[in-house]
Amino acid sequence: MKFLFTFFLTLMLAASAVLYGADNSHAAHFGTRCQQDFQNSWQTNLSYVWRRCSWFNNELDDTDTKDFYYNLHGARTAFSSCDDCGAGPDDVHLFYVSTHGGADATDARLVMWDQNVRARSNTDNWRLGDEDRHAAFFAQYACSTLKLDGIIDRWVNTFRGGLIMATGSHDKLYDSLTTDETGEDFADDLQDGKRVKWAWFDGNGDWWEDQDVAILASGSSNTSAHDAQADCHYRRDRVKWQNFGDYARWRDNDVEWMCWSWITDN
Amino acid sequence: MNKTTLFLLIAGLYAATAHAGHSDYLTSLTSSAREKGLGKDSLELLIPQPGPGKEQAATKLRSLLAQGTLGRSLTVKLGRPTQQGKKGVSYVTDKGSLEVFADGSRFRLRGNLDAVKPLPSGNKAPLAADRLEKLGRDFVSQQLKAFVAIPRGEKLTFLGTKNLRQGGSDLQGKRHSEELFASIAIFGREVGGVPVVGSGSKIAVWFNPDGQVIGADVDWPKYRRSGENVPLLKRDALFKRVEASTTRFAENKESKMTRFECGYVDLGATRRSTKTPIQPGCSVAYQGYDPESAATSWAKVEYVPAAQKVLPDNRWPLAVFIAGSGEPEPGKLIPVPGDEPPKDAAQSAVEPKK
C-alpha cells in the first residue's frame, strides 16, 4: 500500500513538473565569473581558481553554449536581477562562480575583486530566474554561502524568481592542487546526465580534503499532489542539466518549502 | 617543557579544531607531524605502476555490477558508455553508475540511489564509526579485492566517516525535517609505516542507513619501491618551508592551520605518472574567517615537499619551483598557470553601497 502511495505521489510530482509553467528551454547556456587575486590583497589569494573555472568552461562548452567568462572586477551589480546586466547569474541557465564566500545574519556573500566589496543576497535583492533566460542553477565554489543555520532567510528571496537550485557549501570548499579539477568534474558529471545534486557532490568530492558540499532547492504545493515538501524533495533529488526545462518555476508566494542536502563530518 | 608535555599540548590544541568524523588515527597524524615532521632521516621513493587501463577496469567492474557480486544494492546492468574521453569512461543511468578514470586505478560506483530509504533523525542512531569501519574493511577485502591490492608492508588505514544528510523546512520554520541518507567510511594507506597523504590511495565506501553498500570511490594504485632513499629535511627546516609556502603554525588573525600530515604525497590518479616517483611531503590545511561573521571565508590545502632535494613534478607547481629555484620565500606566491578571464567591459563601474 505504501509502495502504491509512493508510486502515485512520484507520478503526480513528475506530471506536475511538466504541467505547471514549464519553459522547456533545452538550449542550455552557461556563464562563469571567478576571482583568484584581490585588490590590494584585501583577501587571501586563491591560487587554483583560474584553473578551476577555465577547466569548467572547457568541459561544458563541449556540449553547451558558454555566454561569458569574466573576473569579478566591479561585478557586484551583475549578481542582482536585471534584464540588461549581461553577465550575471540571471543571464544564463547555469552560472558558475568561484571566489571567497561567507554568510552573515542576513546575507549569503560572495567576495568581489574590489576592496571591501561583497555581493549580498538580500541586501542586493537577488531574485533569480525571472528574466528572459530563466536562470535555473547558481553554482558557487565558495565557502559558507549555503551555511545551514538561517539558510532560508538568506536564500528564499533569490529563489522567488524561479531559480531551481543553488549549489555550494555549508562550510568549507578547499582551494588546492587536488581541487583544481572540481569545475571540470562537475561539468563532466552534468554532461553524463547525473542529477545535478550528484554532479555537484561527486564533482567536488575529495576524500582526503574535507569538502563540505551542499545544495538547496525550493518546493510548492501548487502541484497535483499539493505537497510542497514532497515537491521540494523531488526537485532537489531529480533535476538534471538535460531536463531542467521540464520543471515548473516557483515564483514569489509559490515558494512554500525549501530543502537541502549536504555531506558533513558528523 | 619536556617532549611528552609538548606532544600532549599539541594534541590538545589540535583536538579543539578536529572534525568530529575524523578517526583517532587521522587525528594522530597531525599530532605526530607537528611533533617530529616525518620522524625519519630519509625515505625510499615509490614508483607508481601502470594501472589496468580504464577500458579493462570498466569491463571487469561492469561485469561484477551486472552479476550482483558487489552486493544487492550495487547490482545494475550498464550498457554503452555515456562518455568516453581522455580523462575517463563513464556509464551513467538513473539505476546506477560507473566512472573509471585515468589508467583505471581510480573509479566511482553508485547503486540505485533512488531506492535509498532515508532515516529520519532521532528515529535510530546512525551506524557507529567502528561498525562502519568493520563493514568498510570487509567490503574492501572481499568485494573489491581484485582492485585493491594490499601487499606485505602496506596497510589499509581508517581515516573516519562522513554523513550525507538532507533536510528542509517551510518558510516559517514551523515544520521541518532532517534525515540521514548515507554514511561514508573513508580509508587510506600506509607504505612501510608511512601514511600516503593527498587524494591518491583513498577509498570511500557508501552505506545506506541499513548498512548496505550503495557506492564506492576508489583511487588505489600499485606502488613499486624504488630502492632509492632520499634524505629528508630536519624538522626545523621542514617547518620553515611549510610556513613559507602556507601559513604560520601558530594561530594568527589571518588564518588557522587545521590539519598537518606528512608522508608520501600522492596527488591522485589524474596527476600520477609512472615516470614521476611518489616523494615525501606534507599536506597542510588552513583556513580563514570572515571578520564580519563567524563563517569560514576560505580554506586551502597545500602540499609541501619534504625531501632535501625535491624532484620536479610537472603536476605539482611547488615541487617544480623548489627543484628549480630553491626554497620559497614567505608570502611570495608560487605561480600556478591558469586561464585568467578578462574584466567585463560592459560592467558598470558604479557599485552599490556596501
Per-residue pLDDT of B58-98, as tens digits, reads: 999 999 999 999 999 999 999 999 999 888 999 999 999 99
Question: In the beta sheet, which residues pair with residue B44?
Answer: B229
- Which residue in the set A74, A206, A232 is minimally distant from B168, CB to CB? A232
Task: Enumerate residues 93 to 152 of chain A having a beta carbon within 8 A of any beta carbon in chain B.
Answer: 100-105, 109, 111, 114, 116-118, 124, 143-144, 147-148, 152
pTM of the predicted model as reported, rounded to 2 decimal places: 0.93
Q: Is A73 on the interface with B (CB under 8 A)?
A: yes
Tell me the three cell numbers of residue A121.
543576497
Q: How far apart are CA B147 and CA B167, in angstroms?
A: 35
What is the per-residue pLDDT for B121? 83
- Measured in angstroms, the CA of A251 and the nearest CA of chain B are apart by 14
Work out the widest C-alpha separation in chain A, in whole angstroms: 64
| Interchain pair B296, A73: CB under 8 A | no
Please judge whether A86 and B20 are an interchain contact, meaning their C-beta atoms are less than 8 angstroms apart: no
pLDDT in tens, A8-44: 445 454 444 443 433 444 569 999 999 999 999 999 9
The nearest alpha carbon in chain B to A233 belongs to B168
Q: Is B250 on the interface with A (CB under 8 A)?
A: no
B15 or B316: which leads in pLDDT:
B316
Which of A185, A139, A190, A144 is closest to A163 using CA atoms? A139
Q: Decide if A204 touches B, using CB distance below 8 A.
A: no
Of A86, A180, A263, the CB nearest to B162: A263
Q: How far, CA to CA in Å, does A254 sit from each of A122, A250, B179?
A: 19, 5, 25
3-class state of residue B119 by DSSP: strand
**Cell numbers given for B158:** 581508517
Write the CB contacts of A168 (distance below 8 Å, at least 6 apart in sequence). Answer: A101, A139, A140, A141, A142, A145, A146, A213, A214, A215, A216
- Cβ-in-10-Å burial (0-12, 13-18, 19+) of B210 comes to exposed
Q: Confirm or reject contact between B184 and chain A (CB < 8 A).
A: yes
Give CA–CA dist B230/B280, Å, rounded.
9
CA A61 from centre of chain: 18
Between B297, B301, B354, which is nearest A100 by CB?
A: B297
Helix H or strand E segment including B244: helix B235-245
Q: In the prediction, which pLDDT does B353 show?
A: 41
Whether the Cβ atoms of residue A53 and residue B336 lie closer than 8 Å to each other: no
Chain-chain contact of B354 with A103 (C-beta, under 8 angstroms): no
Within chain B, strands assigned E span: 42-48, 83-84, 88-93, 96-101, 106-110, 119-120, 154-170, 176-191, 194-197, 202-207, 213-219, 223-231, 256-265, 280-289, 296-305
pLDDT of residue B250: 87
% of chain B surpassing 90 pLDDT: 80
With an 8 Å Cβ cutoff, are A259 and B168 in contact?
A: yes
- Residue among A174, A262, A171 nearest B294 (CA): A171
Per the DSSP assignment, residues forming a β-bridge with B283 are B261, B303
- Closest chain A C-alpha to B18 CA, distance in angstroms: 10
Of B297, B302, B349, the CB nearest to A74: B349
- pLDDT of amino acid A151: 98
- As a dihedral over the C-alpha atoms of residue A167, residue B100, residue B180, residue A12, rounded to 10 degrees, the angle is 70
- Please name the residue ranges forming H helices in chain A: 2-19, 49-60, 151-159, 182-192, 196-203, 228-238
ipTM of predicted assembly, 2 dp: 0.93
Backbone angles phi, psi at B262, to 5 degrees: -120, 150
Cβ-defined contact of B295 to A102 (cutoff 8 Å): yes
Full DSSP string of B62-87: HHHHHHTTT-GGG-----S-SEE-SS
pLDDT at B345 exceeding the cut of 60: yes
Judged against a pLDDT cut of 90, whether residue A155 lies above it is answered with yes
Confirm or reject contact between A191 and chain B (CB < 8 A): yes
Region A105-111: mean pLDDT is: 96
pLDDT tens per residue, range B137-154: 999 999 999 999 999 999
Q: Out of A87-101, B52-66, B71-85, B279-293, which region has the weakest mean confidence (pLDDT)?
A: B279-293
B174-208: per-residue pLDDT in tens? 999 999 999 999 999 999 999 999 999 999 999 99
CA distance B225 to B223: 7
